[in-house]
Every structure is written in structure tokens, then in C-alpha cells.
Structure 1
């Protein structure tokens, strides 16, 4: 399988961990984030990412995810491909099956962008 990934957030010095409230996004950062949010903008893909991320052992075979949906295996594979292209998950073929795992650094970068600064006296 092709190992194609989109960059979640530009890796320029000082940009990878700044939140939205730190500074406005430039065009490239906004375009990169939009690709990730687009990948996450589908309930099936959100469920797939959740199934993979919450799995003990850190990886899941596509054969274990497909029965959880009323979708065909090729449709599930397409959704997984979009998550892979967004740089959120990766995979490896083992014989007939493909195993998927979350890329923690991608989720950490995304969480850092969405993080709001803590202000003294303000609770959430």
C-alpha cells in the first residue's frame, strides 16, 4: 500500500504547538488543518478513528472493524484511506488483512492547535 500522508500542521519552528488562540493561522496552516478536519468530518471516519485509537494493543485489523458498520468492506477501506491520507493513521498489510494504528503525534499536534490557554480564575 502507498504510504501517502498529508501534513497535519506545518513543521516550521514554533508553529507545531501553537493553539488557534495564540496567533491567526496563515493560508498554508489553514489549508493543512482543513484537510484533517475534512477527513474527520464524517461520522463513519470518526467512529473508525475512535475504534482504532481505543483498541488495546494499539492496532486493529480491518476485518474487525467492517462488521461494526452497515457498509461494504470497500467503503470502509475508502474511509480508512482518507484517514491515512490525512496523516491520522497508518497501516500494514499482513497476508490478506490490513492492520491499522493511530499516529499519536498527529493527534497530539491537532490537540495542540485546538488547545485554549488557561486563564487564571476561568473554569471550563
Structure 2
């Protein structure tokens, strides 16, 4: 990958990392606590638990994405960015444009997704 493209992806990754870190979703705590007022009413408590689960899932997704971004930035530094970790083939530019933290070519990404789905059904 040429230096200009690499710099473009690095800038994009840094921007995405900044959005996650400054977006507030990782710092917001009020929806992770249960108010004593909600304990008296089962409907309020159920609603609170649902909201907590949604918030927890959003945080988990953002933290996973943040970790993938950090790893992509490390790959840029060590010269392995843009190559599939399974087959070492170059990852398509269209894929990197949409998901600059991608570490697998589309073939191996789909394979991983099928394995994860199979694991979820078994587990």
C-alpha cells in the first residue's frame, strides 16, 4: 500500500478513535444504576434493566470497535496494515474504506462470522 493511502487510513482511524473517546457513551453512568424509586414498581424496574442492557451492549460494541481501531493503528506502525491476518493477501480498498480497522479479507471475515454464528447456536 502506498504511503498516501496509508496516511488516509491512519487519519480515518484516528478520527474514529477520537469520536468514540469523546462521544460520551463510555463515560455515561446514570443509566447503569438503579434508582431506589424504581425498586418499588416492577414495571419501572424492568424498564430500567432493559435500558441498562441496551447501554451495556452499546458500550461493549464501542469498546470492541475501539480495540480494533487501536490494533489497526499498531498494524500501520509495524507495516502489516491492509493485509489479511489469515492469508496475507491485500484487503480490498473498498472494505478498508468502509471498515478501516478490518484485519481480514472479505473471504476470511465471512468465514469467521459463520464460525461465530455456529458457536452462538451451540453455546
Same structural fold, with TM-score higher than 0.5 when normalized by the shorter chain: no
Of Structure 1 and Structure 2, the greater helix share is in: 2
Task: Determine which structure has more spread, i.e. the larger CA radius of gyration.
Answer: 2
Of Structure 1 and Structure 2, the greater strand share is in: 1
Q: Which has the higher contact order (CA 8 A, sep 6+)?
A: 1
